[in-house]
Amino acid sequence: MCGIIAYIGNRKTTDVLLKGLYALEYRGYDSAGVALSDSQTTKIIRSVGRVSELEEKIKKEGNFSSMYGIAHTRWATNGEANLQNAHPHKVGQVTLVHNGIIENADILRKNLEGCGYIFQSNTDSEVAAALLDSLLRESDTLTALTKMKEELTGSYAFAIMIENDSNLYAIRKDSPLLIGVGDKEFFLASDITAIIEYTNQYFLLEPTEIAVLAKEEYKVYEEKQIITKELLTSESSGIDQQKNGYDHYMLKEIMEEPKVLKNLIDRYQDQEKQQELDLSNYQKIDIVACGSAMYAGMIGQSLIEKYADIQVNVFSASEYRYKKKFYDCNTLIMLISQSGETADTIAAMREAKKDGIETLGIVNNPDSTIARECDRIILTEAGVEIAVATTKAYILQVCVLALMSYVTATKKNLFDLRAGMDDFIKIPSLLENVLENQDEYKRIAAQLQDKESCFYIGRGIDYAICLEGSLKLKEVSYIHSEAYQAGELKHGTISLVEQDMPILCVITEKELKEKSISNLKETEARGAKGIIITTTKLDDFNNYLKIVVPTTTELTQSILVVPALQLLSYYVALNRGCDIDKPKNLAKSVTVE
């Protein structure tokens, strides 16, 4: 999603901005731009497409000696992805880049048009620039920025330059923005990875504050008074841009799964450390997340309910924030997020905290909003994920939830401690076997690559696995795919089943095997072609294309099945020539509602 980097200091501004934009690329974007200033003149260069195209344009423009600059990668929200809508936007004396969505942009636009402003783009960001320009006509900069904050509704992080003024300004609300502090050089960034090469010292700007970055110093104002901000130190090692010989980050990150799983499982072998995972104090858990993180939550729901005997509901964060809540006195709100910056998940967390309900985050990014604000936090420590489609971070979310079920069940005397942990310890090497099976995935991918549509079906936990398998396929290969509860298909949706349509049937639960097979047969009777995903123990499927993974316990089985589906999706996308690491329309970190 949109990314911001801004710089003031003695380095070559374009170098810092471009490097920052490259570091932000993994978040997903469709256009990019920079604005450079020598404090009198502002030069704006924008391009649609990749940062490398912007870099080419900057080179062609020749040398422009700038003292500071702002830059942006845009993921279209208001207005299509074209040059006019790309950031930075300049109106009058104001040039800015913006992350977020201004909800009252239409009303403001009308008012500003009434005052003579003519807009070049369809963006809410240009409206914000015009608003600030109009406010600057009647007041000093700090007053104008304060009024701007009062007039805007919605979410925003702005990096701002003003003509004939040698400072950079920043304000934000509900969109991440941090200030990086170096030695006589300062940065604004939506993500620490954009600046970690230069400094690991940073602070976060609060919605009530205004940051002013000058060449030698920075100031933060709250109600026009200068305040002191405590510096934080990021542990981030930045983005490992190496693909280690793999063609794509997605493949590299899938192949890293055994290693990151081992690290996680080793960490939680320590019984004292395991207490972090204990849920036995809660009678009800609401898991709130988006996309794959929510599907990981659904696997967690099955396991926690079954083994730890706690009622669990799973909600998509975008729905949860607007629904009536039924909190009990012992309710836990569990937020799951790779980025820790997903806007809806953050909103749900803040609401729960406002209501005095305990929050626990399962998060990958340790510098994120959710990691900072949750009452309790479990870091998955998968390392940075560059491929837009999540793989290793998702698997670690599932593993944390499985470990939680196990630890809680043990605490409640519902489970045998020794046997359980041994099963986890075996998982990384079993997963290595699953990942070695690449020819099998390629063979099945060849059967899927020319299809327009398919279904994933399963029951119980297998349905949750199907949701993730199906999402992965559509994300990276653009084949239409739906995950369905196997028994539900015949209640309407089976009308879509056609001759030769692939139906991928996930069967890992012995008790549900025959039921799911009956449902698969119902589709085969209508011409569909079944593909089975199962375990060595349940495999007696002689006449099917199939993926068979080693049998483990129910607690850990999905950790072996989903990576096989990830690889299958990868090879389908590869054969279709898709842009696997940056699928169209997608963003890595969804920072708008």
| Catalytic positions | 2, 588
Fill in the per-residue mask, 552 to 591: x = in contact with ligand F6R (CB under 6 A), - = not in contact: -------------------------------------xx-
Of 37, 121, 146, 338, the one binding ligand F6R (CB under 6 A) is: 338
Residues 251-290 that bind ligand F6R (CB under 6 A): 290
Which residue number has the CB closest to ligand F6R?
291
Binding mask 342-371 for ligand F6R (x = CB under 6 A): x--x--------------------------
Q: Which two tokens stand for residue 493?
A: 């949706």
Whether 187 contacts 6, CB under 8 Å: yes
**Looking at 119-127, 140-148, 257-265, 338-346, which segment touches ligand F6R (CB under 6 A)?**
338-346
Q: At closest approach, how far in Å is the CB of 475 from ligand F6R?
A: 5
Candidate list 73, 167, 274, 339; residue touching ligand F6R; CB under 6 A: 339
Which one of the spans 33-41, 173-181, 333-341, 507-515 is the region binding ligand F6R (CB under 6 A)?
Answer: 333-341
DSSP class of residue 37 equals E
Q: In whole angstroms, how far apart are CA 510 and each of 537, 538, 555?
A: 9, 7, 14
Which position has the token pair 């489609």? 389
Cβ distance to ligand F6R smaller for residue 88 or 469: 469
CA distance 188 to 180: 6
For residues 372 to 411, the per-residue mask of contacts with ligand F6R, x marking binding by CB under 6 A and - elsewhere, is -----------------xx---------------------
Residue pair 380/368 in contact by the 8 Å Cβ criterion = no
**SS3 labels along 430-491:** HHHHHHHCHHHHHHHHHHHCCCCEEEEEECCHHHHHHHHHHHHHHHHHCCEEEEEEHHHHHH
CB nearer ligand F6R, residue 363 or residue 430: 363
Shortest distance, position 165 Cβ to ligand F6R, whole Å: 36
Which among 153-161, 332-340, 374-382, 398-406 is the span making contact with ligand F6R, rule CB under 6 A? 332-340
Least distance CB 35 / ligand F6R (angstroms): 29
Q: CA-to-CA distance for 119 and 103, rounded, in angstroms? A: 17
Task: Determine, following the binding rule CB under 6 A, whether residue 300 of this chain makes contact with ligand F6R.
Answer: no
Tokens of 341: 């910056």
DSSP code of residue 200: S
CB of 363 to ligand F6R, least distance (A): 8
Q: What angle do helix axes 124-136 and 141-151 make, rounded to 10 degrees?
A: 140
Q: Which two tokens stand for residue 202?
A: 């940073």
Judged by beta carbon, residue 391 or residue 557, the one nearer ligand F6R is 391
The C-alpha atoms of residue 157 and residue 551 are separated, in whole angstroms, by 48
Of 363 and 547, nearer to ligand F6R (C-beta) is 363
| Residue 47 or 390 with smaller CB distance to ligand F6R | 390
Helices of type H across 321-368: 343-354
194 binds ligand F6R (CB under 6 A): no
**CB 441 to ligand F6R: min, Å:** 18
Residue 88 tokens, joined: 């930075």
Give the C-alpha separation, 515 to 545, whole Å: 19
Cα–Cα dist 141/149, whole Å = 12
Min. distance of Cβ 343 from ligand F6R in angstroms?
9
Residue closer to ligand F6R by CB (options 73, 338) is 338
Paired strand residues for 532: 505, 546
Between 211 and 293, whose beta carbon lies closer to ligand F6R? Answer: 293
Indicate if the alpha-carbon torsion angle 336, 339, 342, 348 is positive or negative: positive
Q: How far is the CB of 409 from ligand F6R (least distance, A)?
A: 26
Indicate the SS3 state at residue 529: strand
Radius of gyration of the chain (CA): 25
Nearest distance in Å: CB 259, ligand F6R: 20
CA torsion 63→96→215→213, rounded to 10°? -160
Q: Is 293 in the site for ligand F6R (CB under 6 A)?
A: yes
Examine residue 477 and tell whether it contacts ligand F6R (CB under 6 A).
Answer: no
Whether the CB-CB separation of 431 and 423 falls below 8 Å is answered with no
Shorter beta-carbon distance to ligand F6R: residue 274 or 566: 566
What 3-state DSSP class applies to 501? coil
Question: Does the footprint of ligand F6R cover residue 292 (CB under 6 A)?
Answer: yes
Binding stretches for ligand F6R (CB under 6 A) = 290-293, 337-339, 342, 345, 389-390, 471, 475, 589-590
